Amino acid sequence: MNSRNDEAAISSGLKRLSIEIARPSPALAARFAARLSEVASRPDSVPIRLDGAKIEARKDGTLLAAALKNGVRVMHACGANTLCATCRVKVVEGAENLSPMRAKERLSLRYHLSMSPRVRLACQARVLGPVDAEPVFPLCGTLPGES
């Protein structure tokens, strides 16, 4: 036996296997390419989860704006003026990916006795990265104009 021939045979066999294993299926490659072009075409879009729904939010947009744009129902009685705190959300994950809390939001939450650092106002919390949040006051039933 020639050890040089054995090494060459093993080396070529390993190379062939690594090429076969590393090559993804055409369907997977096509899905990856489509998703990559979709994400590249919207660099200011951030994936978030709000009330269990996976949606896209505009980077530096509010959680409430993302919810309204994507049809996720979040209570907001004062029209996003930081007054009523009905749009409170509990941040499950990604609190560091929200804008820092401003004094007006902190004051509104304190006035409405929400002292938890995980609670934010959806009308004031701006999205900087992936976030998972749940409304504190979920809406039940349908509103006029909804089907």
Q: What is the pLDDT of residues 50-74, one digit of tens each?
A: 999 999 999 999 999 999 999 898 8
For residue 117, is pLDDT > 80? Answer: yes
CA distance 47 to 86: 24
CA distance 24 to 52: 31
For residue 146, is pLDDT > 70? Answer: no
* Tens of pLDDT, residues 23-35: 667 887 788 788 7
pLDDT at 29: 77
Report yes or no on whether pTM surpasses 0.85. Answer: no
